[in-house]
Amino acid sequence: MSKSRWYAAAPGVGATLLCLSAALAEPTADQASARNMSEMKFAPIPGLPTCVQMAIQSGDPAQGAFVALIKAKTGCTVPSHWHTGSEQLMIVEGTARVHMKDMGQPVALRAGGFTMMPPHHVHEFHCTQACTFFLHSDQKFDIHYVDPQGKELRPEEALKAVNETPATAMK
């Protein structure tokens, strides 16, 4: 099995993503909902650094399109990677630096800041001040870490460079 489906091939990690989806399940698109951040259930995201946690707002990241509220600690870095689906991100609070391949200098995003990455677009995310942001993806969640030459890396290898380890299960 290819590295691009590492989470499905690694024992237990695919099941963990399904458990994450079930545990954090939110109303479907045909159900109304409203809640404040204090009522949301945040959990680690398999494959991402342990300094990141997600609360699903709608959809199911194991099945398809979704919206999530994500918190990242100060200094948290998600090194160069890409996703199968497009990704739209809007900062709620804190400050983040986004560096996108072929787009020049990194961009500092503050509350209200927005970025969009098309499918397979290599980018890096660094939370310079504890940050919270909404993330929308038009496809199920996956992450493909890459080195500077574009060669795919295993999550453990990519995150070791930023002194992190990939989350594997809900806490």
pLDDT tens digits, one per residue of 67-113: 999 999 999 999 999 999 999 999 999 999 999 988 789 999 999 99
Question: Given this model, what pLDDT does residue 27 score?
Answer: 54
| Average pLDDT rounded to a whole number, residues 29-33 | 70
Question: Given this model, what pLDDT does residue 9 score?
Answer: 31
Question: Given this model, what pLDDT does residue 101 score?
Answer: 87
Q: Which domains does the chain have, with CATH numbers?
A: 3-160 (2.60.120.10)
Write the pLDDT tens digit of every residue in 110-156.
999 999 999 999 999 999 999 999 999 999 999 999 999 999 999 99
Q: What's the whole-model pTM score? A: 0.80
Q: pLDDT grade, residue 32 (50/70/90)? A: confident
Higher pLDDT residue, 35 or 81? Answer: 81
Angstrom CA distances, 113 to 51, 58, 69, 89, 96, stand at: 21, 21, 15, 8, 9
Q: pLDDT grade, residue 11 (50/70/90)? A: very low
